[in-house]
Amino acid sequence: MSRFLCAELAALKPYVPGEQPQDKKYIKLNTNESPFPPAEEVALAVARREKSLNLYSDPDCRALKSAAAALYGLDEGCVSPGNGSDENLAHIFAAFLKDKGVAFPDVTYGFYAVLCSALGIRRTVVPLREDFSVDVADYASVTCPVCLANPNAQTGICLPLRDIEKLVLQNRQRLVIIDEAYIDFGGQSCAPLVKKYDNLIVVQTMSKSRSLAGARVGFCFACPEVAADIERVRCSLNPYNVNSMSMYAAVAALGARAYFEECVQSVISVRGYTAERLKGMGFEVLPSSANFLMAKRAGTGGHELYEKLKERGILVRHFAEGRIADFIRVSIGTRAQMDRFLGAVRDILGEE
Ligand SMILES: *Cc1c(COP(=O)(O)O)cnc(C)c1O
Protein backbone atom coordinates (compact mmCIF):
# COMPACT_ATOMS: atom_id res chain seq x y z
CA MET A 1 0.00 0.00 0.00
CA SER A 2 1.40 3.41 -0.88
CA ARG A 3 1.37 6.34 1.50
CA PHE A 4 -0.90 8.19 -0.96
CA LEU A 5 -4.02 6.03 -0.58
CA CYS A 6 -6.91 7.79 1.14
CA ALA A 7 -7.69 6.58 4.65
CA GLU A 8 -11.15 5.18 3.90
CA LEU A 9 -9.76 2.81 1.26
CA ALA A 10 -6.63 1.95 3.22
CA ALA A 11 -8.82 0.60 6.02
CA LEU A 12 -11.19 -1.56 3.97
CA LYS A 13 -10.98 -5.28 3.30
CA PRO A 14 -11.59 -5.67 -0.47
CA TYR A 15 -14.15 -8.17 -1.75
CA VAL A 16 -12.59 -11.57 -2.39
CA PRO A 17 -14.13 -13.11 -5.51
CA GLY A 18 -14.15 -16.88 -6.03
CA GLU A 19 -11.09 -18.24 -7.81
CA GLN A 20 -10.92 -18.03 -11.61
CA PRO A 21 -7.92 -20.32 -12.18
CA GLN A 22 -6.24 -19.67 -15.52
CA ASP A 23 -3.76 -22.56 -15.35
CA LYS A 24 -5.38 -25.92 -14.78
CA LYS A 25 -8.79 -27.25 -15.81
CA TYR A 26 -11.15 -27.57 -12.86
CA ILE A 27 -14.78 -28.48 -12.64
CA LYS A 28 -15.80 -24.99 -11.61
CA LEU A 29 -18.58 -25.01 -9.06
CA ASN A 30 -17.40 -22.01 -7.03
CA THR A 31 -18.83 -18.78 -8.48
CA ASN A 32 -22.42 -19.63 -9.46
CA GLU A 33 -21.81 -19.18 -13.16
CA SER A 34 -24.01 -20.99 -15.65
CA PRO A 35 -22.52 -24.29 -16.83
CA PHE A 36 -24.10 -23.62 -20.22
CA PRO A 37 -22.67 -21.43 -23.00
CA PRO A 38 -24.54 -18.27 -24.00
CA ALA A 39 -27.47 -18.64 -26.41
CA GLU A 40 -26.42 -19.11 -30.04
CA GLU A 41 -27.80 -15.70 -31.00
CA VAL A 42 -25.21 -14.07 -28.73
CA ALA A 43 -22.17 -14.93 -30.89
CA LEU A 44 -23.85 -13.43 -33.94
CA ALA A 45 -24.77 -10.23 -32.12
CA VAL A 46 -21.22 -9.83 -30.84
CA ALA A 47 -19.69 -10.42 -34.31
CA ARG A 48 -21.99 -7.82 -35.81
CA ARG A 49 -20.95 -5.18 -33.24
CA GLU A 50 -17.26 -5.93 -33.43
CA LYS A 51 -17.05 -4.02 -36.71
CA SER A 52 -18.19 -0.79 -35.09
CA LEU A 53 -15.92 -0.86 -32.07
CA ASN A 54 -14.36 2.36 -33.38
CA LEU A 55 -17.54 4.09 -32.19
CA TYR A 56 -18.58 4.67 -28.59
CA SER A 57 -21.40 2.56 -27.26
CA ASP A 58 -24.85 4.13 -26.84
CA PRO A 59 -24.63 6.09 -23.57
CA ASP A 60 -28.40 5.75 -23.15
CA CYS A 61 -28.23 1.94 -23.60
CA ARG A 62 -31.63 2.14 -25.28
CA ALA A 63 -31.63 -1.38 -26.73
CA LEU A 64 -30.74 -2.90 -23.36
CA LYS A 65 -33.15 -0.76 -21.36
CA SER A 66 -35.94 -1.65 -23.73
CA ALA A 67 -35.23 -5.42 -23.64
CA ALA A 68 -34.89 -5.44 -19.84
CA ALA A 69 -38.02 -3.35 -19.29
CA ALA A 70 -40.00 -5.68 -21.54
CA LEU A 71 -39.26 -8.61 -19.20
CA TYR A 72 -41.71 -7.16 -16.67
CA GLY A 73 -43.89 -4.87 -18.75
CA LEU A 74 -42.11 -1.73 -17.49
CA ASP A 75 -41.11 1.47 -19.28
CA GLU A 76 -37.53 2.08 -20.41
CA GLY A 77 -37.45 4.98 -17.98
CA CYS A 78 -37.62 2.48 -15.11
CA VAL A 79 -34.26 0.88 -16.00
CA SER A 80 -30.63 1.73 -15.33
CA PRO A 81 -27.96 -0.55 -16.86
CA GLY A 82 -24.74 -1.63 -15.18
CA ASN A 83 -21.38 -3.16 -16.02
CA GLY A 84 -22.51 -6.20 -14.06
CA SER A 85 -25.06 -5.73 -11.30
CA ASP A 86 -22.20 -5.06 -8.88
CA GLU A 87 -21.94 -1.72 -10.63
CA ASN A 88 -25.68 -1.13 -10.32
CA LEU A 89 -25.29 -1.72 -6.58
CA ALA A 90 -22.41 0.78 -6.44
CA HIS A 91 -24.54 3.40 -8.22
CA ILE A 92 -27.47 2.78 -5.89
CA PHE A 93 -25.38 2.82 -2.72
CA ALA A 94 -23.69 6.05 -3.83
CA ALA A 95 -26.97 7.69 -4.81
CA PHE A 96 -29.08 6.92 -1.75
CA LEU A 97 -27.16 5.46 1.17
CA LYS A 98 -24.23 7.77 1.84
CA ASP A 99 -26.11 9.96 4.27
CA LYS A 100 -28.57 7.34 5.58
CA GLY A 101 -26.69 4.06 6.03
CA VAL A 102 -28.12 0.65 5.14
CA ALA A 103 -29.34 -2.50 6.88
CA PHE A 104 -28.74 -6.04 5.63
CA PRO A 105 -28.56 -9.60 7.07
CA ASP A 106 -25.49 -11.04 8.80
CA VAL A 107 -25.25 -13.76 6.17
CA THR A 108 -25.56 -12.33 2.66
CA TYR A 109 -23.61 -11.15 -0.38
CA GLY A 110 -20.22 -9.96 0.91
CA PHE A 111 -20.03 -7.13 -1.59
CA TYR A 112 -22.60 -5.03 0.34
CA ALA A 113 -20.24 -4.64 3.29
CA VAL A 114 -17.29 -3.86 1.01
CA LEU A 115 -19.28 -1.18 -0.82
CA CYS A 116 -20.19 0.36 2.53
CA SER A 117 -16.53 0.56 3.51
CA ALA A 118 -15.50 1.95 0.13
CA LEU A 119 -18.19 4.64 0.17
CA GLY A 120 -18.17 5.41 3.90
CA ILE A 121 -21.71 4.11 4.49
CA ARG A 122 -22.91 3.16 7.98
CA ARG A 123 -24.25 -0.39 8.15
CA THR A 124 -26.72 -2.11 10.44
CA VAL A 125 -26.44 -5.89 10.50
CA VAL A 126 -29.67 -7.81 11.15
CA PRO A 127 -29.13 -11.51 12.02
CA LEU A 128 -31.03 -14.15 10.07
CA ARG A 129 -33.19 -16.61 12.00
CA GLU A 130 -31.59 -19.78 13.37
CA ASP A 131 -32.66 -21.62 10.19
CA PHE A 132 -30.97 -18.93 8.03
CA SER A 133 -34.25 -17.46 6.76
CA VAL A 134 -35.07 -13.73 6.76
CA ASP A 135 -37.80 -12.58 9.14
CA VAL A 136 -39.30 -9.47 7.55
CA ALA A 137 -40.63 -8.41 10.98
CA ASP A 138 -37.01 -7.83 12.08
CA TYR A 139 -36.94 -4.81 9.75
CA ALA A 140 -40.11 -3.17 11.02
CA SER A 141 -38.18 -0.85 13.33
CA VAL A 142 -35.31 -0.21 10.90
CA THR A 143 -35.52 3.35 9.63
CA CYS A 144 -32.53 3.37 7.26
CA PRO A 145 -32.70 1.81 3.77
CA VAL A 146 -32.71 -2.01 3.57
CA CYS A 147 -30.79 -4.18 1.11
CA LEU A 148 -31.79 -7.84 0.70
CA ALA A 149 -30.69 -10.45 -1.78
CA ASN A 150 -33.71 -12.57 -2.70
CA PRO A 151 -33.04 -15.50 -2.95
CA ASN A 152 -30.41 -14.67 -0.38
CA ALA A 153 -26.77 -15.12 -1.30
CA GLN A 154 -24.88 -17.85 0.55
CA THR A 155 -28.13 -19.48 1.69
CA GLY A 156 -30.29 -19.74 -1.45
CA ILE A 157 -33.38 -19.25 0.69
CA CYS A 158 -36.12 -17.20 -0.99
CA LEU A 159 -38.82 -14.96 0.47
CA PRO A 160 -42.25 -15.07 -1.17
CA LEU A 161 -43.41 -11.97 -3.04
CA ARG A 162 -45.91 -11.06 -0.31
CA ASP A 163 -43.09 -10.77 2.25
CA ILE A 164 -41.17 -8.42 -0.04
CA GLU A 165 -44.30 -6.31 -0.45
CA LYS A 166 -44.72 -6.29 3.35
CA LEU A 167 -41.14 -5.06 3.72
CA VAL A 168 -41.74 -2.27 1.20
CA LEU A 169 -44.97 -1.26 2.95
CA GLN A 170 -43.49 -1.25 6.48
CA ASN A 171 -42.16 2.24 5.89
CA ARG A 172 -42.77 4.07 2.61
CA GLN A 173 -40.16 6.69 3.57
CA ARG A 174 -37.45 4.04 3.51
CA LEU A 175 -35.83 2.61 0.36
CA VAL A 176 -35.82 -1.17 -0.09
CA ILE A 177 -33.22 -2.62 -2.47
CA ILE A 178 -33.91 -6.20 -3.58
CA ASP A 179 -31.01 -7.95 -5.30
CA GLU A 180 -32.54 -10.62 -7.52
CA ALA A 181 -29.33 -12.16 -8.91
CA TYR A 182 -30.84 -15.65 -8.43
CA ILE A 183 -34.54 -14.98 -8.88
CA ASP A 184 -34.91 -16.98 -12.12
CA PHE A 185 -34.06 -20.24 -10.34
CA GLY A 186 -37.25 -20.49 -8.34
CA GLY A 187 -38.42 -17.18 -6.91
CA GLN A 188 -41.03 -14.69 -8.05
CA SER A 189 -39.61 -11.32 -9.08
CA CYS A 190 -40.89 -8.21 -7.35
CA ALA A 191 -39.86 -6.04 -10.33
CA PRO A 192 -43.48 -5.31 -11.35
CA LEU A 193 -44.01 -3.71 -7.91
CA VAL A 194 -41.89 -0.70 -8.92
CA LYS A 195 -45.02 0.50 -10.73
CA LYS A 196 -46.80 0.65 -7.35
CA TYR A 197 -44.07 1.63 -4.90
CA ASP A 198 -41.53 4.40 -5.38
CA ASN A 199 -39.39 3.15 -2.47
CA LEU A 200 -38.43 -0.13 -4.17
CA ILE A 201 -35.35 -0.81 -6.32
CA VAL A 202 -34.84 -4.23 -7.92
CA VAL A 203 -31.42 -5.34 -9.19
CA GLN A 204 -30.91 -8.19 -11.69
CA THR A 205 -27.96 -9.62 -13.59
CA MET A 206 -27.17 -11.41 -16.85
CA SER A 207 -24.39 -13.32 -15.07
CA LYS A 208 -26.20 -16.27 -13.56
CA SER A 209 -29.34 -17.47 -15.33
CA ARG A 210 -28.41 -16.01 -18.73
CA SER A 211 -24.86 -17.34 -19.09
CA LEU A 212 -23.14 -13.97 -19.54
CA ALA A 213 -20.96 -13.56 -16.42
CA GLY A 214 -17.96 -12.61 -18.57
CA ALA A 215 -19.87 -9.97 -20.53
CA ARG A 216 -20.57 -7.97 -17.34
CA VAL A 217 -24.14 -6.76 -17.73
CA GLY A 218 -26.70 -6.02 -15.04
CA PHE A 219 -29.67 -3.71 -14.69
CA CYS A 220 -31.95 -2.32 -12.05
CA PHE A 221 -35.62 -1.35 -12.00
CA ALA A 222 -37.26 1.48 -10.09
CA CYS A 223 -39.94 4.11 -10.53
CA PRO A 224 -38.91 6.75 -13.14
CA GLU A 225 -37.78 9.36 -10.56
CA VAL A 226 -35.59 6.92 -8.65
CA ALA A 227 -34.27 5.37 -11.89
CA ALA A 228 -33.35 8.87 -13.10
CA ASP A 229 -31.36 9.46 -9.89
CA ILE A 230 -29.44 6.22 -10.49
CA GLU A 231 -28.85 7.26 -14.12
CA ARG A 232 -27.46 10.54 -12.83
CA VAL A 233 -24.79 8.67 -10.86
CA ARG A 234 -24.09 6.30 -13.76
CA CYS A 235 -23.59 9.16 -16.22
CA SER A 236 -21.42 11.04 -13.75
CA LEU A 237 -19.05 8.12 -13.22
CA ASN A 238 -19.00 6.44 -16.65
CA PRO A 239 -21.68 7.13 -19.27
CA TYR A 240 -20.31 4.33 -21.51
CA ASN A 241 -20.35 1.77 -18.73
CA VAL A 242 -21.86 -1.00 -20.87
CA ASN A 243 -19.72 -1.67 -23.93
CA SER A 244 -21.49 -2.21 -27.24
CA MET A 245 -20.55 -5.90 -27.62
CA SER A 246 -21.83 -6.74 -24.17
CA MET A 247 -24.95 -4.65 -24.62
CA TYR A 248 -25.97 -6.51 -27.77
CA ALA A 249 -24.91 -9.84 -26.30
CA ALA A 250 -27.33 -9.10 -23.46
CA VAL A 251 -30.13 -8.05 -25.79
CA ALA A 252 -29.68 -11.26 -27.80
CA ALA A 253 -29.63 -13.38 -24.62
CA LEU A 254 -32.79 -11.71 -23.33
CA GLY A 255 -34.47 -12.58 -26.62
CA ALA A 256 -33.50 -16.27 -26.48
CA ARG A 257 -36.39 -17.24 -24.23
CA ALA A 258 -36.68 -20.95 -25.03
CA TYR A 259 -32.96 -21.50 -24.43
CA PHE A 260 -33.14 -19.56 -21.16
CA GLU A 261 -36.06 -21.71 -19.95
CA GLU A 262 -34.21 -24.88 -20.90
CA CYS A 263 -31.07 -23.86 -18.97
CA VAL A 264 -33.00 -22.75 -15.89
CA GLN A 265 -35.08 -25.94 -15.85
CA SER A 266 -31.92 -28.03 -16.05
CA VAL A 267 -30.38 -26.18 -13.08
CA ILE A 268 -33.55 -26.65 -11.03
CA SER A 269 -33.78 -30.35 -11.74
CA VAL A 270 -30.04 -31.02 -11.21
CA ARG A 271 -30.24 -28.99 -7.97
CA GLY A 272 -32.93 -31.32 -6.63
CA TYR A 273 -30.96 -34.36 -7.69
CA THR A 274 -27.75 -33.11 -6.06
CA ALA A 275 -29.50 -32.11 -2.82
CA GLU A 276 -31.06 -35.57 -2.48
CA ARG A 277 -27.74 -37.32 -3.06
CA LEU A 278 -25.97 -35.07 -0.53
CA LYS A 279 -28.66 -35.71 2.07
CA GLY A 280 -28.22 -39.43 1.40
CA MET A 281 -24.58 -39.02 2.41
CA GLY A 282 -25.50 -37.36 5.71
CA PHE A 283 -25.33 -33.71 4.68
CA GLU A 284 -27.63 -30.99 5.89
CA VAL A 285 -28.64 -28.96 2.82
CA LEU A 286 -30.34 -25.55 3.03
CA PRO A 287 -33.51 -25.29 0.89
CA SER A 288 -32.26 -23.46 -2.20
CA SER A 289 -34.14 -21.44 -4.80
CA ALA A 290 -30.83 -20.44 -6.41
CA ASN A 291 -28.23 -22.09 -8.67
CA PHE A 292 -26.17 -23.30 -5.73
CA LEU A 293 -26.50 -25.41 -2.58
CA MET A 294 -25.17 -24.78 0.91
CA ALA A 295 -24.32 -28.09 2.53
CA LYS A 296 -22.61 -29.25 5.70
CA ARG A 297 -21.96 -32.57 7.36
CA ALA A 298 -21.29 -33.19 11.04
CA GLY A 299 -17.68 -34.20 11.51
CA THR A 300 -16.50 -32.93 8.10
CA GLY A 301 -14.99 -29.43 8.14
CA GLY A 302 -16.07 -27.02 5.39
CA HIS A 303 -12.54 -25.91 4.66
CA GLU A 304 -11.22 -29.46 4.71
CA LEU A 305 -13.86 -30.56 2.21
CA TYR A 306 -13.08 -27.59 -0.02
CA GLU A 307 -9.37 -28.49 -0.01
CA LYS A 308 -9.93 -32.18 -0.71
CA LEU A 309 -12.31 -31.42 -3.56
CA LYS A 310 -9.76 -29.02 -5.03
CA GLU A 311 -7.12 -31.76 -4.94
CA ARG A 312 -9.54 -33.80 -7.01
CA GLY A 313 -9.97 -31.02 -9.58
CA ILE A 314 -13.28 -29.69 -8.27
CA LEU A 315 -13.64 -26.10 -7.10
CA VAL A 316 -16.37 -25.18 -4.63
CA ARG A 317 -16.60 -22.15 -2.33
CA HIS A 318 -15.92 -22.04 1.37
CA PHE A 319 -16.60 -18.97 3.54
CA ALA A 320 -14.64 -18.79 6.77
CA GLU A 321 -17.26 -16.52 8.43
CA GLY A 322 -18.88 -17.61 11.70
CA ARG A 323 -22.31 -19.03 11.01
CA ILE A 324 -21.53 -20.59 7.64
CA ALA A 325 -17.95 -21.76 8.25
CA ASP A 326 -19.01 -25.43 8.40
CA PHE A 327 -20.70 -25.28 5.00
CA ILE A 328 -19.47 -25.56 1.47
CA ARG A 329 -21.30 -23.74 -1.30
CA VAL A 330 -21.52 -25.70 -4.50
CA SER A 331 -22.81 -24.15 -7.73
CA ILE A 332 -25.14 -26.30 -9.81
CA GLY A 333 -23.35 -27.46 -12.95
CA THR A 334 -24.43 -29.98 -15.54
CA ARG A 335 -25.63 -33.38 -14.41
CA ALA A 336 -22.28 -34.86 -15.47
CA GLN A 337 -20.35 -32.27 -13.46
CA MET A 338 -22.50 -32.90 -10.39
CA ASP A 339 -21.96 -36.65 -10.71
CA ARG A 340 -18.21 -36.01 -10.70
CA PHE A 341 -18.65 -33.78 -7.63
CA LEU A 342 -20.81 -36.36 -5.82
CA GLY A 343 -18.34 -39.11 -6.69
CA ALA A 344 -15.49 -37.06 -5.24
CA VAL A 345 -17.46 -36.36 -2.04
CA ARG A 346 -18.21 -40.08 -1.65
CA ASP A 347 -14.53 -40.81 -2.17
CA ILE A 348 -13.48 -38.24 0.47
CA LEU A 349 -16.00 -39.51 3.03
CA GLY A 350 -14.81 -43.05 2.40
CA GLU A 351 -11.31 -42.04 3.48
CA GLU A 352 -12.48 -40.87 6.90
C1 LIG B 1 -23.36 -12.73 -8.47
C2 LIG B 1 -24.08 -11.72 -7.66
C3 LIG B 1 -24.10 -10.36 -8.02
C4 LIG B 1 -23.20 -9.75 -9.05
O5 LIG B 1 -23.34 -10.15 -10.29
P6 LIG B 1 -22.69 -9.39 -11.51
O7 LIG B 1 -21.89 -10.42 -12.19
O8 LIG B 1 -21.88 -8.23 -11.03
O9 LIG B 1 -23.88 -8.94 -12.27
C10 LIG B 1 -24.88 -9.49 -7.30
N11 LIG B 1 -25.58 -9.93 -6.23
C12 LIG B 1 -25.56 -11.19 -5.85
C13 LIG B 1 -26.38 -11.61 -4.67
C14 LIG B 1 -24.81 -12.13 -6.54
O15 LIG B 1 -24.75 -13.39 -6.12
Q: Is residue 335 part of a domain?
A: yes
- Mutation choice for ligand 1 from 20, 32, 85, 212, CB with most ligand atoms inside 8 A: 85
pLDDT of residue 239: 95
**How confident is the model over 203-226, as pLDDT tens digits?**
999 999 999 999 999 999 999 999
What is the predicted pLDDT for the residue at 134? 98
- Distance from Cα 11 to the centre of ligand 1, integer Å: 24
34 lines ligand 1 (CB under 6 A): no
C-alpha span between 158 and 185 (Å, rounded): 10
Per-residue pLDDT, 328 = 97
246 and 338 together in one domain: no
What CATH number is attached to the domain comprising 102? 3.40.640.10
Based on the domain organization, do 210 and 297 belong to the same domain? no
The 3 state secondary structure assigned to 201-237 is EEEEECCCCCCCHHHCCEEEECCHHHHHHHHHHHHHH
Residue that is last in its domain, among 227, 255, 283:
255
Residues 281, 235, single domain; the answer is no
- Same-domain status, 204 and 292: no
The whole-number pLDDT of residue 236 equals: 97
Tell me the CA–centroid distance for residue 346 and ligand 1, in Å: 31
* Cα 250 to ligand 1 centroid, rounded to whole Å: 15
pLDDT cut 70: percent of the chain above it: 100
The pLDDT, as a whole number, for residue 20 is 83
pLDDT of residue 202: 98
CA-nearest residue for atom 5, ligand 1, is 85
Residue 13 located in a structural domain: no
Are both 128 and 239 inside the same structural domain?
A: yes
Residue ID of nearest Cα to ligand 1 atom 2? 181
Inter-residue long-range contacts of 263-270, CB under 8 Å, 24+ positions, other chains counted: 263/34, 263/36, 263/209, 263/211, 264/184, 264/185, 264/209, 266/36, 266/334, 266/335, 267/34, 267/185, 267/209, 267/291, 267/332, 268/185, 268/186, 270/332, 270/333, 270/334, 270/335, 270/338
The domain spanning residue 293 has which CATH number? 3.90.1150.10
> Is 177 among the domain residues?
yes
Last residue in a domain, options 194, 222, 255: 255
- Pair (323, 202) in one structural domain: no
Considering the domain architecture, whether residues 48 and 137 belong to the same structural domain is answered as yes
Q: Which residues of the chain have pLDDT under 70?
A: 352
Nearest atom of ligand 1 to the alpha carbon of 207: 7
Q: Ligand 1 test: best mutation among 205, 217, 329, most atoms within 8 Å of CB?
A: 205
CA 112 to centroid of ligand 1, rounded, Å: 11
Atom of ligand 1 nearest to the CA of 108: 13
Going from the Cα of 189 to the center of ligand 1, the distance in angstroms, rounded, reads 16
Task: Give percent of the chain with pLDDT exceeding 90.
Answer: 91
CB distance 84 to ligand 1 below 6 Å: yes
pLDDT of residue 23: 73
- Whether 97 and 245 map to the same domain: the answer is yes
Q: Mutual orientation of helices 40-50 and 244-255 as an angle, nearest 10°?
A: 150
Q: Which domain holds residue 220?
A: 40-255
- Examine the fold and report which residue of 255, 285, 300 is the final residue of a domain before the chain moves on: 255
Total count of domains within the chain: 2
Is residue 7 included in any domain, yes or no? no
Residue 113 CA to ligand 1 center (angstroms) comes to: 14
Residues 235 and 285 in one domain: no
Atom of ligand 1 nearest to the CA of 85: 9
Query: In the prediction, which pLDDT does 8 show?
Result: 81
Residues 76 and 116 occupy one common structural domain = yes
213 lines ligand 1 (CB under 6 A): yes
Check residue 242 and give its pLDDT.
97
Is residue 204, in this structure, part of any structural domain at all?
Answer: yes
pLDDT score for 352: 67
* 11 assigned to some structural domain: no
**Domain shared by 319 and 197, yes or no:** no
Output the CA 119–ligand 1 centroid distance in Å.
18
Centre of ligand 1 from the C-alpha of residue 111, in Å: 9
Res 24: pLDDT: 74
Is 263 domain-assigned?
yes
pLDDT of residue 21: 81
Q: State in Å: Cα 261 to ligand 1 middle.
A: 20
CB 33 less than 6 A from any atom of ligand 1: no
Whether ligand 1 lies within 6 angstroms of the CB of 177 is answered as no
Residue 198 lies in a domain: yes
Within this chain, do residues 286 and 193 fall inside the same structural domain, yes or no? no
